[in-house]
Chain A
């Protein structure tokens, strides 16, 4: 089965600073990869997904961007953070039809 790694676990950043969150995957090749954001007490909002290297689909127009430089690496970035970017960011991977989507441990981002 897949293992999803995310870091850091917690991040406090000032408004206007850049952001880079990294997600790596073990145990599968060519997975679909996903970035979700969860506001406190709310559901999961799909931000980006990728079906392969260099292929990024954006679900919600926003201050963030994503990149997939390698098969098992998915990066979430921002050039200038906003207060509204605060939340819990989860990376997930899916190996394909009939398989389960697995999640990483998440990163709690607080923008002050």
Chain B
């Protein structure tokens, strides 16, 4: 069975600062993928970044980077230089054999 744990229900960050959103996972699948999505108040799910379990380097997409520590089963999202538009819910997810499992999310609020 797959499990995603996000332990931060809410986070605050000052504009232009960096913030780390935590995600740990558990799976018995030898091959898996890890995702982060952003969900603004409009409800749409916006794909941010993807990390494959066999990728040697941490994924980066613009201001987003994924701190992948396989031995610790963690896949934290780092947002650099936070902007007001980054205020949203953030979901960590894991792709297994056929399904994608989501965490409960972290609400990020960027303070001017």
Q: Which residues of A approach B to under 8 Å, CB–CB?
A: 32, 34, 36, 42-44, 46, 49, 51, 57, 88, 90, 92, 94, 97-98, 100-103, 105-106, 108
B68 part of interface (Cβ distance < 8 Å): no
Q: In the bound complex, do residue A98 and residue B33 qualify as a contact, i.e. CB atoms below 8 Å apart? A: yes
Q: In the bound complex, do residue A97 and residue B105 qualify as a contact, i.e. CB atoms below 8 Å apart? A: no
Which residues of chain B from 66 to 112 have any CB-CB distance to chain A below 8 Å in the complex? Answer: 91, 93, 95, 98-105
Q: Tell me the count of chain B residues lying within 8 A, CB to CB, of chain A.
A: 21
Contacts of B31 in A (CB 8 A): 97
Chain B nearest CB from A101 CB (Å) reads 5
Interface pairs A-B: 7 shortest CB-CB? A103-B45, A43-B104, A44-B102, A106-B43, A101-B100, A43-B105, A100-B47
Given A44-B91, A106-B43, output 6 extra A-B contacts at Cβ < 8 Å: A34-B100, A43-B104, A43-B105, A46-B101, A92-B45, A94-B100
